[in-house]
Structure 1
């Protein structure tokens, strides 16, 4: 999935290709030089270097990009990511989900090393984290334009499922940035409980939620949907999956809400939260992708 940043906002992007250390090889960390011939040191990541150099050339005015390779043991890969994030003042780390599906819903590949890495990063990252679950069909952010008109129209529909809390606010903030691209149409669906008994959001969280939602009303498509419990949430999500190409949701780990009650016992992968897991399940996911977002954890010193 290719994301083209908006022309009015620049993007500093660090790409880290992780390679599993094998045998008695020595751990390596390679900073690939821009626009130079591929060398023997680059051979681990030749295709990655070429692809992202091309991406940078196509977005030269708004993207500053560096590509790195880390060759290390799987149990230490998270250190390479965290160290690079700290050194470069990274604000967001994007990770792939460990499972991919064929178009018929069967599992194409599954890598437990990636899953372990993702769980480590969620615990240790010095910044916010996103896990991208790719749909069964390759997607791209492409702008469809009528060559007879100077106006462009939206070709990519994104939705944020918002229930409240810091992860959902981070997901919405990221979606707002993505929606600066004129080819993107953003919808925010506020999934509210008909009965608020059982929610664990405190008054401060509610105030921050209201402030953020008030700031977007009128500037983008905003909808409210009330549900009583998890099964109603499931039915609602099933009714809209064909309308969007990308769902952005907060991880909301250990949040208990009326909107998800009854679903927590069916959650297979806690690292992507209840809603993320539901949208990513083998009998649910379709021709859309899911981005699960966790706001940076605050650690006690």
Structure 2
């Protein structure tokens, strides 16, 4: 069995375990499909259309050890992810896994009740449709009593020059107002990208999962100066920053892109 086979088996085991814990509301269908790597995205997108899928979850192509060294890297997966982001008929998430002390651990043993007692998730919210999709997903996850959700609204200290569509601003405000009082809500003001980097570095040990919008080609004061250092544009500036090797902590990052609207 190859390492990729083992990885897939562990993912299936994790989902089966999730189904056992949520038997009343979740069902699982597992199957294997074989296709050429350069055409795999078409099969995935067609399958999503066939099943009226609302969300595709993809693995990031790189995994790290806890010391920041690279455990594995697969450029075929990266190419697949980029193609799906362009063509997906629904929203897409890319999961950057937390770093491990050893190679990928299995999900065969169920987690202890203690690990379920407090799972801290943070949403980094700035603006726009991807951030709203990330927040909507986090709200659904937070319905689990074991999850503690914090929404961190990262605001520009000086918003002069920021271009924001009126409709986006209204939708952002409506969504944020809808969650205030039901989850922990924080506001943090920053002036430019390095301040954002320092702030995120200061909180990474407080959470096990960050959920962020991809925000492809969005320009904001909060990320100014960081775009030049972004290594993987498919996970966006904030996702790339949280995946940076200097951010040493054991957390995962879920990068979310809302379904693209295409002209017919």
TM-score by length of 1: 0.79
**Within the alignment, does 1:123 sit opposite 2:103 as a pair?**
no
Contact 2:48 2:89 in 1 (8 A): yes
Shift of residue 154, structure 1, vs aligned partner: 4.2
**Cα shift at 1:199:** 2.2
Distance across 1 between alignment mates of 2:46 and 2:186: 40
Instruction: Give 1:286's aligned residue.
Output: 249
The CA distance in 2 between the partners of 1:228 and 1:243, in whole Å, is 23
SS in 2 for 1:136: coil
Greater share of strand? 1
Native 8 Å contact 1:97 1:133 kept in 2: yes
1:96 to 52, 59, 66: 59
The 8 Å contact of residues 156 and 185 in structure 1, kept in 2 or not, is answered as yes
Change (3 A) 1:52 1:215: closer
1:285 CA displacement = 4.7
Structure 2: gaps spanning 5 or more residues: none
> Is 1:159 equivalent to 2:122 in the alignment?
yes
Q: How much has 1:58 moved relative to structure 2?
A: 3.8
* Alpha-carbon distance between aligned partners in 2 of 1:51 and 1:90, rounded to the nearest angstrom: 20
Write the deviation string for residues 2-40 of structure 1: whole angstroms up to 9, x where unpaired: xxxxxxxxxxxxxxxxx99xxxxxxxxxxxxxxxxxxxx
Structure 2 equivalent of residue 77 of structure 1: 40
Q: Report the Cα distance in structure 2 between the residues aligned to 1:90 and 1:163, rounded to whole angstroms.
A: 27
Question: Quick check: 1:93–1:128 contact (8 Å CA) kept in 2?
Answer: yes
Decide whether aligned partners of structure 1 residues 253 and 285 sit closer, same or farther in structure 2, where only a CA change above 3 A counts.
farther
Counterpart among 233, 237, 247 of residue 210 in structure 2 = 247
Higher RCO (Cα < 8 Å, 6 or more apart): 2
Q: Alignment partner for residue 194 of structure 1, among 140, 157, 173?
A: 157
Give the one of 20, 27, 31 matched to 1:57. Answer: 20
Greater Cα offset, 114-123 or 194-203: 194-203
Whole-angstrom distance in 1 between the partners of 2:14 and 2:248: 28
1:208 aligns with 2:142: no
Q: Report whether the alignment pairs 1:232 with 2:198.
A: no
In the TM superposition, residue 52 of structure 1 has moved relative to its aligned partner by: 4.2
Q: Compute the displacement of 1:65 (Å).
A: 1.0
Alignment partners' CA distance in 1, 2:183 and 2:203: 18
Residues 143 and 171 from structure 1, CA distance in 2 versus in 1: closer, same or farther, beyond 3 angstroms? farther
Change (3 A) 1:46 1:233: closer
The range that moved more, 289-298 or 78-87, is 78-87
Higher relative helix content: 2
SS at match of 1:62: coil
The equivalent position to 1:113 in structure 2, one of 76, 89, 103, is 76
Task: Answer whether contact 1:95 1:118 (CA < 8 A) is retained.
Answer: yes
Superposition deviation, residue 59 in structure 1:
2.6
Scaled by the length of structure 2, what TM-score is found? Answer: 0.89
Is residue 183 from structure 1 mapped to residue 149 from structure 2 by the alignment?
A: no
Q: 8 Å contact 1:159–1:246 — kept in the other structure?
A: yes
